[in-house]
Structure 1
């Protein structure tokens, strides 16, 4: 007789682990602060050791009980279904609580809330966590929509009839959150929690695989239009053309060896050295030059933050034979091109000699 998913040992083990995780989470919610203070009074190592032993104990108990359960389920008259129903019910309710809590946190602004300190922090200095928080917190409307989706999906998990729909709604959201937690260096606790929630949702989805499989792999009615040879070619052509549409742009605009943020270490205008604080006296007293891969260039006087309203913008092209930049400033005429002679370039520093309007400039640049 073919084994059903409910007869697998791993299903029993996973459901036992999830029950213990739910119990542990509830206990930590009620007494977590007290336990943390108690064990950290003996040092941070004590709390970490306690947490490690709790995890090991949960795994050992789950392995032992699931093996016992698996053996007992082979006996006639042993009701394994009621245990599955109970454990999966706990899983659904636990997931609904966890995800909806995150949803309410977004609506009530305890997540993605405004942090005024970050307003004056340069973007380049923000951590991955701060960038994520600022990005998603920029629009409160978006936070509300995301929160409502999480709450709505959680409500669906509370009812067996709508569990599959709730799982399909929440799983893409949680997978996205897991990727953000991994690649944007979000706190380890948030990452672990997202993994627990996502694996639970995946498990609930796999339980309904017999219902999902016919929908995903249902045999379709053959089209009366017969293109047996051309159809594979057309399918491949769609992907190839999509790749080429972007690749031709990459080839047309290759990466520039000069791209980057360049600090003006020495600035001489008409034989006179520009001082460190002269940037406050005029937007033409640049401190930084920003060279982009796509041919854009910008000059900023403020050494601390990029001021778009005071910056000079333009486009450049590099002549490799003559080792020169041709810079065309925004707002200038087509004939008003500034030629820059580049010397002593080694990838980290270079010197510019040029004439901008009526001023003769000599710049020493260092790449940061």
Structure 2
């Protein structure tokens, strides 16, 4: 067996060591350390607030998070000053990001399964819909189905586990990004809270970090690599027309369908200010009286009469022909139709319904209270 010359071994060692010790830009060091500090600090703060707030003040936990971020940022400058490019150091900080995001999302998943999240007080079921804040609407909606919550939890836990293995990190990112994006958007638009939005944003950035690390590979995979989809043989303009059809055809059909709010000036909630039946003025003397108190004119020509409470309602549809108004009822069945005219009092701006309801002459004066 012929031995390699010593110089050849030196060249091989130098090349291997050079590739192993590739220079890491300061920007990458700084972003990696900063993100690691933010992610670790955020998930530790959330764990503390959720499980340890009885023993540790929130201010103390917030201070710990701040110190973690500060130490991470300072280390980025120390790392640069030492002029060391050890991949082990980079792997450590990237590992902190992966673990922080994975732990946080897995924790959210297990909390859903164990009924620590997406649970609302029982008294909310008896509250009027209009009394709910956006965040309460959010929690009420997602608390309706435990199975749905478990599916979300399963995605969070599975994506978190895949994120912790180098070979499956990208798969984990692709699973978690839609989940995180959905959570972040709902946190923003349902006013869940600024601190929650910040927390979700940090975890989103942590997942995006690994996506950007593989940008060149993803670019080649999605745009440069060949695919096995057969090419349709037709002129280019026809292909363009077919592609654009998904934009223009639905819009055309929607335009032809018309606006569901056919009477925008009438649509809204009205309070009954005066009720006259068979030339006699009626006024409720108690909550048990079944007198008309609220009228709704809805989109799609919907109409609702409410008699003192939401539990006493007639729901149906109305038709307008100039000033003539006709209302037929769907629920409850068997209720008499209303036929009459609709006018406005020029002095007060109130709406007056005059007609016949079940053989009784009826005149209802309405004041609009909500569009």
TM bracket, shorter-chain basis: 0.7 to 0.9
CA distance in 2, matches of 1:346, 1:118: 42
Over aligned residues, Cα RMSD in angstroms? 3.1
| TM-superposition CA deviations, 1:302-360 (whole Å, max 9, x none) | 34xx22xx42122112234xx33222333579x96612332227997322222212112
Q: Mark the CA change 1:6 to 1:238 in structure 2 (over 3 Å): closer, same or farther.
A: farther
**1:29-48, aligned counterparts within 5 Å?**
29=47, 34=55, 36=57
Name the counterpart of 1:237.
245
Does the Cα contact within 8 Å between 2:170 and 2:210 map onto a contact in 1? yes
Partner of 1:273: 281
For 2:207 and 2:93, how far apart are their aligned partners in 1?
A: 14
Compared CA separation, residues 27 and 312, structure 1 to 2 (3 A): closer
TM-score by length of 1: 0.81
- Are residues 132 and 269 of structure 1, via their aligned partners in 2, closer, same or farther at CA, if it must alter by over 3 Å? same
Unaligned runs of 5+ in 1: 40-46
Q: CA deviation at 1:241?
A: 0.4
Highest Rg: 1 or 2? 2
Shift of 1:237: 2.1
Other-structure match for 2:182: 176
Q: Give me the whole-angstrom Cα distance separating, in 2, the residues matched to 1:58 and 1:93.
A: 15
For 2:135 and 2:232, how far apart are their aligned partners in 1?
54
Question: Paired residue for 1:160?
Answer: 166
CA distance in 1 between counterparts of 2:348 and 2:97 reads 57
2:319 counterpart (301, 317, 339): 317
Contact (CA 8 Å) 1:279, 1:286: kept in 2 or not? no
Residue 287 of structure 1 pairs with residue 304 of structure 2: no
Structure 1 distance, partners of 2:223, 2:260, is: 42
How many residues align structurally?
A: 340
Partner of 1:43: none
- Counterpart-to-counterpart distance in 1, 2:91 and 2:234: 49
* Pairwise CA distance, 1:168: 0.5
Against the structure 1 CA distance between its residues 10 and 32, is the aligned structure 2 distance closer, same or farther, given a 3 Å change threshold?
Answer: farther
CA contact (8 A) 1:17 1:58 kept: no
Contact 2:326 2:337 in 1 (8 A): no
Contact residue 324 and residue 341 of structure 2 kept, 8 A: yes
Q: Structure 2: which 5+ runs fail to align?
A: 1-21
State how far apart, in whole Å, the 2-side matches of 1:345 and 1:95 are: 63
Distance 1:253 1:287, change over 3 A: closer
Length-normalised TM-score, structure 2:
0.80
